[in-house]
Structures are given as C-alpha cells and as structure tokens.
Structure 1
Amino acid sequence: MTSWSGALSAAMAEAERENIRESTLEGLETAARKGKNPSVASVYRALAEYEKRQRYPGAVEEAHADFAALADGVPEPRSANADPATR
C-alpha cells in the first residue's frame, strides 16, 4: 500500500509541476503579446514564491498579521504641505 500511495503522490506532484510550467509559459506568451518581457529571474522568483506558499501556507498570512501589528505603533508620515509652524 505504501508504494502505491507514494507512486500516486509522485504522479500528482509531476502533474502539478507540468500545470505550473504550462501556466508560466502561457503567461510569458501573454506578456510578450502585450509588449512586456519578464526576465528569467522574475520567472524564477515567481516560481520560488509559489513553492514557498505551497510548503508554508500560513506563513504569508502570519507575516502580514505581524507587519500590521508592528505598523499600528508607527506614526503616519507628515504631509509635505504641512504648516511649518506645527512641526
């Protein structure tokens, strides 16, 4: 039973990788039609980010919540048009 489930998992992972590859290539074709040429580095970055989200699904939400908690204590920047007397 273990080898069967392992083979099934491997086949599903391979199918998912192929789907990601096809989607990436379609996205590159669409970008080229729109006159945009993403770099190879940006494609690798996007794929790496996808892999991270798959491995650590809650990490992004936790990071956003932590950032929001930190940002609550940070004052807003002053407007450039503010009255100098109130500075």
Structure 2
Amino acid sequence: MEDSLLQQGLDITLFGMGIVFSFLLVLVIATGFMSRIVTRSFPEPEDAPPLSNPQSDSDRLKAIARAAIEQHRNRNKR
C-alpha cells in the first residue's frame, strides 16, 4: 500500500512538473515569435539630427530655471 501511495505521489509530481515545464517552454517560444513579428512590423525609427546646438539649449534651460525661481519667490511674497 505504501509503495503505491509513494508511486502515485511521484507520478503526480512528475506529471505536474512536466505540465509546468511544457507551458513555460511554449510561453518562451511564443514570446520570441511575437518579438520577431513586432520587430519586423515596427522597426526602430532612425535618430534625427539635432536641430539646435547644445549651447543655446543650455542658455534656454538657464532662462527657464531663472523664471521659475523668480515666480516661486514672487508667490511667497504675497
């Protein structure tokens, strides 16, 4: 009786692990297949050349920061 109970437990364990392994294998294959389809259907866009030089961007950001600080200080005075 004990041998058959142990055998049944081992059979159920191996069956369950086989099901999980099979599901994960199918999941990995399906994910790879979908990845290839999406990559072929929607390729990455090419990088556009920069429209302005970094110096003017830096000056623009400094002006924005100054305006934000000034607005914050004026709000606290009220």
Shorter-chain TM-score range? 0.3 to 0.5
TM-score by length of 2: 0.44
Question: What TM-score do the two structures reach when normalised by structure 1?
Answer: 0.40
Structure with greater proportional helix content: 2
Larger Rg: 1 or 2? 2
